[in-house]
Amino acid sequence: GNSCKRGEAYGIDEITNPVRIITTTVKILNGELPVISVKTKLAIPKALTFKAMEAINDLTLEAPIKIGDIILENILGTGVDVVATKTIKKA
C-alpha cells in the first residue's frame, strides 16, 4: 500500500518501470549435480524477462563453479550479470 513512502515508491516504480530479479538453473557438465542455480545480480526490466531466460537457457557450464561466479556478463546489455548462487564441485 501507499501508507508508507516505500510502498508508494514501489507502486509508482511497478507501474512506470517494472523490474524483476530472475532466478533459474543452468545445465552443468561433470558436476556433482546436473544443474546449478543462478540469478541476476540486480533486477532487470520485466519486459526483458523472456529474452533473458532464452539467453540463460542456452548456456551449458563446466564444473567446478563457485558461488558468486559470473555466469553471464551484462545480460542483454542491461549492465547486470548473472551469477551462481551455489557451489558445484567437479564430480
Q: Express each pLDDT in 51-88 by its tens digit.
A: 999 999 999 999 999 999 999 999 999 999 999 999 99
> What is the rounded distance in angstroms from the CA atom of residue 72 to the CA atom of residue 84?
10
The closest alpha carbon to 38, from 80, 90, 91, belongs to 80
Q: How many CB atoms lie within 10 A of CB 4?
A: 9
- Using DSSP's 3-state secondary structure scheme, residue 68 falls into coil
Q: Express each pLDDT in 27-46 by its tens digit.
A: 999 999 999 999 999 999 99
Residue pair 9/2 in contact by the 8 Å Cβ criterion: no
Give Dmax (Cα) for the chain: 52
pTM comes to 0.88
User: Which listed CATH number (3.40.630.30, 3.10.530.10, 3.40.50.970, 3.20.20.60) goes with 18-84?
Assistant: 3.10.530.10
Amino acid (1-letter code) at residue 67: I
